[in-house]
């Protein structure tokens, strides 16, 4: 086994349950049988690894990475934060992938059915890797809210999807980021599957005036916590090294 400690168990009271009928898709996606508990294997405890060399220079800039004739329409924003583990240690070398609708609430996806127009200059996908202190940052435009076929008239609040690869597959996290002050967060059937209001608030990025770019972009701060290990913290054995 790995020389590092085992991971804390996932706190299932903090995460949404798999079966939540108000979010219709969960009915068929949720397990039909009791879960089995399996030991983690070495590859699950120690991989994957990523290198900065695999990323392009515009991968963390959604304002420019799909530009055809000019910059995309929308509220220009910077999203930044830190990736920490449950012991509050920064996690360097984490691969973050993010995707979102354009400023009108429309995705660039072949199954997208919303009538809002595509923006020819906005792709809506990007990625980056956290630095030595677990920090990440990317530029984009603020996504719009959009309707979706769930109830009769359900709308998603503005959000950015995140896929996060830490240093073990047990740290894999897929989540969504919302924007401070949006009243639609509290009317969303997906958000309402999360049982704890404090857990929902952890998904809401704060407007961060200190990192706003004057005459350019607003900033939002979004910290992400991955599963931590039970081992004692050693300065000479940082996570990811």
Q: How far is Cα 122 from Cα 65, in angstroms, rounded to an integer?
A: 8
Instruction: Tell me whether residue 38 is exposed, middle or buried, using C-beta atoms within 10 angstroms of its C-beta: 0 to 12, 13 to 18, 19 or more.
Output: exposed
Distances in whole angstroms, Cα of residue 140 to Cα of each of 33, 65, 157, 174, 191: 41, 10, 17, 19, 23
Active site (catalytic) residues: 107, 146, 156, 159, 161
74 beta partners? none
User: What contacts 29, CB < 8 A, 6 or more positions away?
Assistant: 18
**In the 8-state DSSP scheme, what is residue 171?**
G
Q: How far apart are CA 49 and CA 119, in angstroms?
A: 34
Report whether 91 contacts 52 (CB < 8 A): no
Nearest to 118 by CA among 108, 127, 109: 108
Burial, 60: exposed, middle or buried (Cβ in 10 Å; 0-12, 13-18, 19+)? buried
Spatial separation of the C-alpha atoms in residues 191 and 122, rounded to whole Å: 26
């Amino acid at each position: 086994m790995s020389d590092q400690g085992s991971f804390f168990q996932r706190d299932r009271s903090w995460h949404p349950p798999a079966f939540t009928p108000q979010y219709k898709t969960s009915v068929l996606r949720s397990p039909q049988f009791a879960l089995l508990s399996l030991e983690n294997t070495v590859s699950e405890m120690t991989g994957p690894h990523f290198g900065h060399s695999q990323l392009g220079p515009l991968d963390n800039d959604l304002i420019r990475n799909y530009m055809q004739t000019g910059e995309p329409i929308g509220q220009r924003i910077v999203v930044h934060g830190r990736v920490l583990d449950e012991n509050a240690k920064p996690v360097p070398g984490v691969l973050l992938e993010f995707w979102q609708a354009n400023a009108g609430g429309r995705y660039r996806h072949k199954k997208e059915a919303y009538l809002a127009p595509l923006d020819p200059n906005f792709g809506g996908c990007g990625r980056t890797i956290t630095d030595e202190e677990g920090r990440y940052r990317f530029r984009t435009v603020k996504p719009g809210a959009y309707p979706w076929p769930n109830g009769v008239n359900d709308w998603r609040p503005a959000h950015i999807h995140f896929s996060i690869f830490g240093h073990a597959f047990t740290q894999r996290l897929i989540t969504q980021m919302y924007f401070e002050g949006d009243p639609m967060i509290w009317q969303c059937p997906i958000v309402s599957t999360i049982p704890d209001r404090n857990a929902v608030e952890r998904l809401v990025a704060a407007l961060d005036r200190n990192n706003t770019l004057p005459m350019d972009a607003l900033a939002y701060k979004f910290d992400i916590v991955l599963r931590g290990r039970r081992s004692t913290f050693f300065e000479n054995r940082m996570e990811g090294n």
